[in-house]
Amino acid sequence: MATDNNRFQAIISHCKEYGFIFQSSEIYDGLSAVYDYGQWGSELKKNIRDYWWKSMTQMHENIVGIDAAIFMHPTTWKASGHVDNFSDPMIDNKDSKKRYRVDHLIEAKIEELKAEGKNAEGETLNAEMDNLLAANDYEGLKKLIEDNKIKCSVSGTGNWTDIRQFNLMFSTQLGSVAEEASEIYLRPETAQGIFVNFLNVQKTGRMKIPFGIAQTGKAFRNEIVARQFIFRMREFEQMEMQFFIRPGTQKEWYEYWKEERMKWHLSLGIPKEKFRFHDHVKLAHYADAACDIEYEFPIGFKELEGIHSRTDFDLKNHQLYSKKKMQYFDPEINQNYIPYVLETSVGLDRTFMMVISEAYTEEDLSTPEKQDSRVVLKLPPKLAPIKLAVLPLLKKDGLPEIARQIMNSCKPHFRCFYEEKDAIGRRYRRMDAIGTPFCVTIDHQTKEDNTVTIRYRDSMQQERIPLAQIKELIEKHIG
Ligand code: GAP
């Protein structure tokens, strides 16, 4: 069985080989940290997004969704603090010219120490880094790098520049350059589209606090150290929800949403021990409490989702910069106030990476007679790109016609796939590799008694069921 790093590489290769994820503009040798979702990847991604959307909006009567534009008025990002604060401390190696995010550079050293069994040293370094980051002490951080003899992975030297801040927002020009062009940003988070629409939604939807606004969409960050496949990308998708509450109630809602979001992840059938909470030491410029839900990826425990108590930071600043009141009249206490906000923010691509890492299984099926193995994606049926494969055993004797009838009755209800080429065993394996939970095979007996063989992906068990029960059985599993 593969080690974790080999497993991670195997998952990346599998994603490419079976049409889940391709490198962007691959024919031009790709674009760093940008990826395209292929035919099955885009289905899986859409199913994850839809499942989140339904859980947030349909299942919470006090949450509605919006779809705001990626481009926003440039003052938005001044008010939100991103122009001044959305930056990471970076350091360059003078010999290789390679640039590192300071925390990533030190974290790599911590991993190295732990791998050498020097856990206590690793912990101490981690604590020192956290303290210096929290204090924005760049001289201290540089000294920490030098004292720990941290070297550049390319040049192998410790010849470092001073630490500087780099803003992560991409900017472009609105209008033609000849005209009076103005610089605008590609949004680095979807949240601000929700904040600027807070009153539009509250008034037109007659929403009463507490209520939430959800949104999914693209976000862009000029990550300096973009790495680890779709874990850290320059263009990615977020699924965010801002929950508007009465000031002073943020602690209870923080706990509520921590629990609620953990329940959502567990509902994907992932074991509890694969998750943990990690409290932020260095709070983002907008938060008074924040934590991550971390998942144990094949590359270790890493951030999957952020839960942030954003206070009234954003609405207050939008009120200040736009000079438009961002207040809510609370009829229960007869008061006007700027609501506080509890945010849940999960990366769609990271959720995809979690789901596929969890599902990817290499199975040894060898018998004393024969060596055999398979790769199967044990995806939750509700997320699988294809729910049902319809496979006539032969390309003749009227079997394809019956298979086509099954396709026609099922495809309006869920995604089906028809295939008549190759031996049935090979067709099953191809369906296993893309995570199709059910295959039905139509053979000569079908013509006599209207039954088909249904094959279950995970157990590989097969049984005969009446043709008329196929749709109902699958709907029961994907419901
Ligand atoms: N509105 C709050 C916010 O954007 P964040 O912790 O910066 O908070 C939220 O981002 C989530 O977005 C992260 O937990 C992660 O899942 C995802 N995310 C952030 N940067 C990413 C990147 N460069 N590539 C992929 N996903 C990213």
Determine phi and psi for 124, rounding to 5 degrees.
-65, -45
Q: How far is the CA of 16 from the centre of ligand 1 (A)?
A: 24
C-alpha closest to that of 127 among 152, 144, 150, 147: 144
Which residue has the CA at smallest separation from atom 19 of ligand 1? 347
Ligand 1 atom at minimal distance to the Cα of residue 226 = 23
Q: How far is the CA of 476 from the centre of ligand 1 (A)?
A: 34
What pTM was computed for the model? 0.90
Pocket of ligand 1 contains residue 349 by CB under 6 Å = yes
Q: How far is the CA of 346 from the centre of ligand 1 (A)?
A: 7
Q: How far is the CA of 407 from the centre of ligand 1 (A)?
A: 40
Pocket of ligand 1 contains residue 304 by CB under 6 Å = yes
CA 38 to each of CA 226, 252, 385, 434: distance values in angstroms, whole numbers, following the listed order? 21, 41, 11, 12
Find the angle CA(468)-CA(473)-CA(476) to the nearest 5 degrees: 140
Report d(CA 40, CA 20) in Å as an integer: 5
Pocket of ligand 1 contains residue 265 by CB under 6 Å = no
Report d(CA 275, CA 303) in Å as an integer: 10
- For residue 220, the 8-state DSSP code is E
Which runs of E-coded beta strand occur in 348-406?
A: 360-364, 373-377, 388-392
Pocket of ligand 1 contains residue 41 by CB under 6 Å = no
**Residue among 229, 236, 295 to mutate when testing ligand 1 (max atoms within 8 A of CB):** 236
Q: How far is the CA of 454 from the centre of ligand 1 (A)?
A: 41
Q: Sheet harboring 289-297: ordered strands across?
A: 63-65, 211-220, 235-245, 340-347, 300-311, 289-297, 275-279
**Amino acid at the residue 193:** G
347 in a labelled binding site:
yes
- Enumerate domains of the chain plus CATH numbers: 5-72+183-356 (3.30.930.10), 87-167 (3.30.40.230), 386-478 (3.40.50.800)
Report d(CA 374, CA 428) in Å as an integer: 10
Rg for the chain, CA atoms, rounded: 26
pLDDT of residue 1: 38
C-alpha closest to that of 475 among 448, 437, 442, 446: 437
Pocket of ligand 1 contains residue 287 by CB under 6 Å = no
pLDDT of residue 262: 98
Report whether 158 contacts 146 (CB < 8 A): yes
Instruction: Give the residues across from 2 on adjacent strands.
Output: none
Q: How far is the CA of 67 from the centre of ligand 1 (A)?
A: 18
Ligand 1 atom at minimal distance to the Cα of residue 221 = 23
Tokens of 97: 């010219």
**Residue among 345, 346, 351 to mutate when testing ligand 1 (max atoms within 8 A of CB):** 345
Report d(CA 150, CA 277) in Å as an integer: 29
Pocket of ligand 1 contains residue 345 by CB under 6 Å = yes
CA 329 to each of CA 11, 252, 325, 326, 338: distance values in angstroms, whole numbers, following the listed order? 52, 21, 11, 10, 9
Residue-wise DSSP of 422-466? S-HHHHHHHHHHTT--EEEEE-HHHHHHSEEEEEETTT--EEEEE
231 in a labelled binding site:
yes
Question: What average pLDDT values come out for the chain (479 residues) when binned by 10 residues?
Answer: 77 98 95 96 98 98 98 95 90 94 92 92 92 89 96 95 94 73 91 98 97 98 83 97 97 97 98 96 83 96 96 97 97 97 98 98 95 96 98 96 98 97 96 98 97 98 97 94
